[in-house]
Amino acid sequence: MEDEEKIHATFIIELLGKPIEHLKEAMETHVVKLGSEKGVKILNKQYHEPILASDSKTMYTTFAEVELLFDSVENYLGIIFAYLPSHVEIIKPERLIVTNYDLSEIGSKVLQRIHGYDAIVKNVLQERENLIALIKEEAPALFKKLTTPPKDSKENVKQSKKQKKKSSSKKTKKK
């Protein structure tokens, strides 16, 4: 396939984890694997140093900018679903010509992936319900403990409601 027909794009790939050394190694492995996919060529890559993730004292985050060349739209979309980059940008071409057959194939593959995710979610939800029923039957005390909110949280909700009533009554008095 000639370069004019290929898709030139940039991906931003983010990872979260610890320790820093493992995170760096995981990112490099991820990018190398991406470059080894059929129909994908890495043109440029830039790794960024891990930093402490916001709202965390132990987890780090890092990202890589990867410039890629894809053989086809189908290949490009397949890689997006497989690697889940946080951002993508198509650099070239500005316009794509896709046949109805190719678009149907792409749509079918997207739907197949979505149905797969849907089946996983339904399976996990069913397993959750089964576990809840088992805990309720085999360990009722544990079930009650797990499903009863802590007493202090009930008190916090009551106090919060009282504060909202006071603040709303102050606003109405000012008018």
Return the CATH number at 85.
3.30.70.60
**pLDDT over threshold 60, residue 2:** no
Residues spanned by the domain of 35: 3-96
| Whether residue 11 is found in the same domain as residue 88 | yes
- Please tell me which residue, 149 or 89, carries the higher pLDDT value: 89
Tokens of 15: 């990872």
**pLDDT over threshold 80, residue 5:** no
pLDDT tens figures, 105-162: 888 988 998 999 999 999 999 999 999 999 989 988 888 888 888 776 556 666 666 6
pTM of the prediction?
Answer: 0.65
| Whether residue 31 is found in the same domain as residue 64 | yes
**pLDDT over threshold 70, residue 174:** no
Q: Who contacts 61 (Cβ-Cβ below 8 Å, separation ≥6)? A: 14, 15, 16, 50, 51, 52, 53
* pLDDT reported for residue 28: 95
Q: Who contacts 103 (Cβ-Cβ below 8 Å, separation ≥6)? A: none
The tally of domains found in the chain comes to: 2
| Whether residue 78 is found in the same domain as residue 114 | no
pLDDT tens figures, 52-72: 998 888 999 999 999 999 998
Does residue 158 fall inside a structural domain? Answer: no
Does residue 131 fall inside a structural domain? Answer: yes
Does residue 38 fall inside a structural domain? Answer: yes
Does residue 144 fall inside a structural domain? Answer: yes
